[in-house]
Amino acid sequence: MLTLIKNCYIVSPDLELENSAILIEAGRIKTVFPDTNAAPAVDNVIDAEAQIVAPGFIDVHCHGKAGYDFTDAKQEAIDTIGKAKLAEGVTTLLPTTLTLPEEQLAAALETAANYIKNDVKGCRLPGVHLEGPFINANCAGAQNPAYVRVPDIEEVKRLNAIFPVSKVSFAPEVEGGIEFSRELREIGVTPSCVHSAAKYCEFQSAHDHGMRDLSHFCNQMTPLHHRDIGLVGAGLMHNDVFIEFICDTMHICPDMISLVFNLKDIERIQLITDAMRAAGMPDGDYEIGGLPVIVKDGAARLTSNGALAGSTLQLYEALKNVYEITGLPLSELIKTTSWNQAQSLGLEKFGKIEAGFAADIVILDDEFCPVTTLVDGEVRFKG
């Protein structure tokens, strides 16, 4: 079946087209028409009404939403999260774990496998993101230090056999961490640095072994200092390193957001949510990895010490924030919502409105709020 999206304001990497149209066939973009009047007549038509039409967002770092956490290891948890993320424009998701026992991680990955087996009509799930358990216990933040352990490639392989592991975020300075980067690359997994006290020289060693990503940049990592530029300095200096960025203006202040977008190649910035179960929910009492959390005015904090415990951010809000803060063209900023993520993970034909690419598309209103989300050319969310 052919589907036509007409009256589009297409915003794609390095491209903005008003009054355009997109023809979709068999889940792929067949043709992009610069003039909507040149598009053929088809039975299934979606009128974008001159609103923004962009590549569906890819969230590579999200723990939960709508009252559920991926590591609840319940089928209703991943099924609900996978559907709820569509409402924020996300079409591809890497459900993200916490520092927990292997048995609980394995149970969570089983639910992801069932999500695919049952053909749940939510986001795509190409793999999962293991955040922890191989972190620096002194930089645990909202991760549970009771379950921190040294990097173990065999554990990753066991989990990968249950459901694909796309990315592992860990601390390279811990025992075996440098070699762990190489071992992950050898099995096709993206290594990333997180919850780390690594010095710059330690990052350099990990970089030599294949590390090209920094998770939730600036948060729970060594800051920029004039005697050791640390991980923040590494992310700014290395042009081949991707950084995840939580642009909720709480994890990262607006001035730092401006600074990073001024200094860093925009094709290496990935907007993420790092959302926990309270995303899309009212303020109140929650938990993350067994640790009590209070959410007030949208900020999730550990009740024990007030440390930020993930976010309640939605990805379209992050895009709106960086647009208002930086003033950069949307055709540049839109790279940070899906194209860059696809490049980091090696996902081909995702993240652009272009012939041959996946028909994963979001239509946004003037406030960047999603009104329609399509996966494989199929409408899966309608606001």
- The pLDDT assigned to 371 comes to 98
Residue 121 pLDDT > 90:
yes
- The pLDDT assigned to 40 comes to 95
Whether the CB-CB separation of 94 and 126 falls below 8 Å is answered with yes
Q: How confident is the model at residue 43 (pLDDT cuts 50, 70, 90)?
A: very high
pLDDT per residue as tens digits for the range 179-199 = 999 999 999 999 999 999 999
Residue 20 pLDDT > 90:
yes
Mean pLDDT along residues 8-33: 98
Choosing among 1.20.1260.10, 1.10.3720.10, 3.20.20.140, 3.40.50.920, the CATH entry for 57-345 is 3.20.20.140
Percent of the chain predicted with pLDDT > 70:
100
Choosing among 2.40.50.500, 3.20.140.10, 2.30.40.10, 3.90.1300.10, the CATH entry for 2-54+352-382 is 2.30.40.10
Whether the CB-CB separation of 169 and 130 falls below 8 Å is answered with yes
Residue 207 pLDDT > 90:
yes
- CB contact set of 305 (below 8 Å; sequence gap of 6+): none
As given in the structure block, the two tokens for residue 365 are 């209103």
Chain mean pLDDT for the chain: 97
Residue 222 pLDDT > 90:
yes
Residue 331 pLDDT > 90:
yes
pLDDT per residue as tens digits for the range 283-298 = 999 999 889 999 999 9
As given in the structure block, the two tokens for residue 328 are 């950069």
As given in the structure block, the two tokens for residue 33 are 């028409």
Q: Which amino acid is at 173?
A: E
pTM score over 0.95: yes
| 2-54+352-382 and 57-345 in the same fold | no
Positions marked catalytic: 274
Mean pLDDT along residues 274-278: 98
pLDDT per residue as tens digits for the range 67-113 = 999 999 999 999 999 999 999 999 999 999 999 999 999 999 999 99
Residue 327 pLDDT > 90:
yes
- The pLDDT assigned to 1 comes to 86
Element (H, E) at 344: helix 339-345
- The pLDDT assigned to 288 comes to 93
Residue 320: what are its φ and ψ, rounded to 5°? -60, -40
Cβ neighbours of 223 (radius 10 Å): 11
Residue 167 pLDDT > 90:
yes
- The pLDDT assigned to 81 comes to 98
Whether the CB-CB separation of 254 and 64 falls below 8 Å is answered with no
What is the C-alpha separation between 138 and 206, in angstroms, rounded? 19
Q: How confident is the model at residue 263 (pLDDT cuts 50, 70, 90)?
A: very high
Task: Give the start-to-end residue ranges of the domains of the chain.
Answer: 2-54+352-382, 57-345
